[in-house]
Chain A
Amino acid sequence: MQIKIKLNGKTVSADVAPDTLLIDFVREQGCYSVKRGCETANCGLCTLFLEEKPVLSCSVLAVRADGKSVTTLEDMQEEAAEFGAFIADQGAEQCGFCNPGFIMNALALFRENADPSEEEIKEYLAGNLCRCSGYEGQLRGIQDYLSWKKGRERINENS
C-alpha cells in the first residue's frame, strides 16, 4: 500500500505491506534510535511521537500513520542532548539501550507538564523500562534538569 508520512519534517512516500509496523518502517528509513526491547508492548523503547503524542511504534501499523507526522529522536537532537547530559551526569544508565525511548517520553512529559512532581514523573515514565538501573539516577537527573531549566528561565525573565 502506498503511504505518505511526514517523518522528522520530511515527506516520505513508500510502498508498505498492510502489516508493516511503524517501528520497522522508521528503522528502514534510517531512524535507528527507535528500538524493539520486548514483544509485549511494555518496554517503551520504541517510543516516537505520532502527531506530537508519544506512542509505542511497535503497535502501530505503518498504514495507520499515512498522512500523519512522525517524530523520532533523530529530529530532537538539541533538546535530547541538553536533557541527556543531566542523565549522564548521574551515571544513570549502563548499557543505554533504553535511553532513546526514555528521552522521547521524558520530553513528552515536559511538554505536557513543565513542572511535574516526583509522583507525576514516576507515573508518566512508568512505561519505560530500564533493566540496568533502579531508576533512581534517572529521577535525580530529571529533577536536576528541571531545576536548571527553571533557573535559566528566571535569569531570562530578569534580563
Chain B
Amino acid sequence: MMTIKEYRRVQSLEEAWELNQKKRNRVIGGMLWLKMGNGSIQTAIDLSNLGMDKIEETEEEYRIGCMVSLRELEENQGLADYTQGALKEALRHIVGVQFRNLATVGGSIYGKFGFSDVLTMFLVMDSYVELYKHGIIPLREYAANDYGRDILIRIIVKKTKASYIYQSVRNSKTDFPVLACAAAKTEAGKYLFSVGARPARAILLLDEENLLEEKAGEVEAEAFAAYAKKKIVTGTNIRGSAEYRTHLTGVLLKRAILRLA
C-alpha cells in the first residue's frame, strides 16, 4: 500500500516546484498508477488548485493543462476533429470511463510509462511540453531525456495539418496494450510513426531512408515495415514476446501506411 504523510494543495507553481525537489515528495496526478505501488510519500503535491484542468484552443495550437483528465481529452471535439478520431481511439481502450475521469494527461506524459497509449499518440503530433523551469521543449526530446524533478504545466499541440491513425493490440479489452502504434502523414507528405508498449517507452520513427517519399503503395509499405522491424527494439513481458511484438510492429505500420496513403 502506498502511504502519504502529508498532503498539500499548492497555491503556486513555485511552491509545487520547491516541494518537488525533495525526493520523498511526489506530485499526484490522477494517482491511478502511483496508488499501485508501495511507495511511502512524505508530502503529496496536488496541483488541482492552479486552474490547469482546461483545454484552450487558439488559432495555432491546443494548450492542454496537466490536470486535464483523459476523459476530457477524449471528449474534446476540436482535438477529435483535428486528429480524425485518432486521439479518441488512443484513449477509449484505457480501462474504463471512471478511470479516465481521474487519470490526467500530465500524469501520463510525466510518467513516460512504457505502456502509455497517450505518449505514443502525442509523439506523432507536433507536441511540446511546458515545464516550469525548463520552459517549452519538443515532446520527443522530453520523452527521450531526463529533465529532473521539474513541474509539467501543460502540453501544447500545434495545429500542423496532418492525417492521423492510431492502432493498438490488446489481449483483452481494457488491458494494457501488447503494442501501440500511432502514425501521421503531414500535408507536406512526411510520415511520422511511434511505437509504444514495446513494452518499453514509446519511440518515434521517421522515414529517414525516404522509402515512402515518392509512393506509398503495397510494396513500399512492406519495405518500410521490414525496415521498422529492424529499427524498433522490442522486449518480452507477460503480455507478449519480443518476437510477437516485432511481428505486430510490421503489421501495424504497414496498415497505417496503406490507410494514410
Contact = CB atoms under 8 A, between A and B. Distances in A.
B2 A64 contact: no
Contacts of B46: 64
Given A18-B4, A18-B44, A61-B4, A41 B95 contact: yes
Interface in B94-126: 95-99, 101-102
Contacts, number: 74
Interface residues of A, number: 29
Given A64-B48, A124-B97, A19 B3 contact: yes
B31 A19 contact: no
B4 A19 contact: yes
Contact of A53 (B5, B36, B101): B101
Contacts of A47: 98
Nearest to B46: A64
Contacts of B30: 59
Given A53-B101, A55-B101, A127 B174 contact: yes
A123 B89 CA distance: 12
A63 B7 contact: yes
Interface residues of B, number: 26
Contacts of B48: 64
Of the candidates A41, A63, A108, the one having the most CB atoms from chain B within 10 angstroms of its own CB is: A41
Contacts of A109: 97
B59 interface: no
A50 B152 CA distance: 25
A59 B173 contact: no
B95 A42 contact: yes
B136 interface: no
Nearest to A101: B98
A100 B32 CA distance: 21
A60 interface: yes
Nearest to B5: A18
A124 B98 CA distance: 9
A41 B7 CA distance: 21
Contact of A105 (B92, B97, B174): B97
B230 interface: no
Contact of A127 (B4, B5, B97): B97
B98 A61 contact: no
A41 B36 contact: yes
Interface string B21-52: 00000001011100110000000101010000
Given A44-B98, A47-B98, A61-B44, 7 more contacts: A19-B3, A41-B36, A59-B99, A60-B102, A61-B28, A126-B173, A127-B97
Interface of A: 1, 18-19, 39-42, 44, 47, 50, 53-56, 58-61, 63-64, 105, 108-109, 123-128
Interface of B: 2-7, 28, 30-32, 35-36, 44, 46, 48, 71, 92, 95-99, 101-102, 173-174
The 6 nearest A-B residue pairs measured at CB: A127-B96, A19-B4, A18-B7, A18-B4, A54-B98, A56-B98
21 contacts: A18-B6, A18-B7, A19-B2, A19-B3, A19-B44, A39-B36, A41-B32, A42-B95, A44-B96, A47-B98, A55-B101, A56-B98, A56-B102, A105-B97, A105-B98, A126-B96, A127-B95, A127-B96, A127-B97, A127-B98, A127-B174
